[in-house]
Structure 1
Amino acid sequence: MKLQHQQVRLRQLKQSDVSQLAQLLNNPKILDNLRDSIPFPYFESDALKFVDLCNKMDPLRNFAIEYDGQLVGTIGLEQETDVYRLSGQLGYWIGEPFWGKGIATTAVNLMVDYGFKSLELIRIHACVFSFNKASQRVLEKNGFKLEGIFEKAVIKNNMIFDEYHFAKVNGKS
């Protein structure tokens, strides 16, 4: 399956990505929208662990996002287990220098296609902090529906926020 549309391509993460990953993720504007499990500052050793972990997965579920041949972010699907095993949670980020170019919208479209076709998921969902309007728009552009708003569900930077839950269901199931 080809994971590319125009200048945006999803590909396996490589050890040569480590420096660029660390550079892009050492930005509070990005980390403000991600879970606290991602350390700050983000060192090359953190990036190397992430790349190694991702490449041990079979099938691959985390990818580098390339734009015009340059690493600009990552995207992944965490496949659920047990009775939720045909569902996956989507997560992604784009480095600040590449914001506003439609890269995330295209990457999400490619990843959803991969999740439905290659991983045989029937449902993909994403959780977005209430203040992350750009990510909410990316999901809406890709046909995700807002399923609910979880009031005061997350704490980020010592502040409490609502969390928006979006989902898309495979129309072929």
Structure 2
Amino acid sequence: MCRRPIRSPTPRSSPYSRSSRARRSSSPCAGRSASIPSRRCGPSSAVQLVLQRSVVRSWRASDAESIARYANNRNIWINLRDAFPHPYTLHDARDFIRAVRSRSPETTFAIALQDEAVGSIGFVLHHDVERVSVEIGYWLAEPFWGRGIVTEALRAMTTYAIEHHGLTRIYAVPFAWNAASCRVLEKAGYVLDAVHSR
């Protein structure tokens, strides 16, 4: 398995954050995220947030092939944590889906277009005094970049996480060179708290 090379000393933006106490009107995009999208629960209480551009839903075993195809992309891999493999194989996709489906509570979800998984969004719950904060992360297949899909999914997931997990703060830690991800966060109402240097 390939390991991610050591990166250049480019600063990492950290963190963008969103407080549950912040008024939505302070965001230029507030009107579009005033309430959580429709949440449907199937027989297994699977999460399904139906949005205008996509559906954020629980992972299914049948998502493995599409995720293996889309995640096997250096342009995605270079912007994610070291645990994200490259090349990304069908075996990696199956292992990932198995792992996220076994977690309780469910915190990692598929971003789907026409019922095909084309990305992922989720958050990491913390413990002890940090239990009211989570780190959120996401990726989307390159053919779908620039369409507002992640911005919409991020707004919905932010609302979902706050309402279902009693959070007061959600933050993201994009690499400084990933300007598109920084813009997505800002459009979703996140505020730059700091830039960390190496």
Contact 1:89 1:124 (C-alpha < 8 Å) held by counterparts: yes
| Partners of 1:100 and 1:151 in 2: CA distance | 28
Match of 1:120 in 2: 166
2:192 paired with 1:146: yes
Richer in strand (by share) = 1
TM-score by length of 2: 0.74
Alignment of 1:1-173 (within 5 A): 2=39, 3-152=49-198
Moved over 6 A (4+): none
Contact 2:122 2:136 (C-alpha < 8 Å) held by counterparts: yes
| Partners of 1:110 and 1:86 in 2: CA distance | 18
Q: How big is the shift at 1:39?
A: 1.1
TM-score by length of 1: 0.85
* Matched-pair identity in %: 39
Gaps of 5+ in 2: 1-37, 40-48
Aligned-pair Cα RMSD in Å: 1.0
Q: How big is the shift at 1:4?
A: 1.9
Larger Rg: 2
| Partners of 2:82 and 2:116 in 1: CA distance | 26
Q: Deviations along 1:107-132, whole A, 9 cap, x unmatched?
A: 10111011101122111000010110
| Relative contact order, higher structure (CA 8 A, sep 6+) | 2
| Partners of 2:81 and 2:131 in 1: CA distance | 22
Gaps of 5+ in 1: 153-173
Number of residue equivalences: 152
**Aligned residue type for 1:113:** T
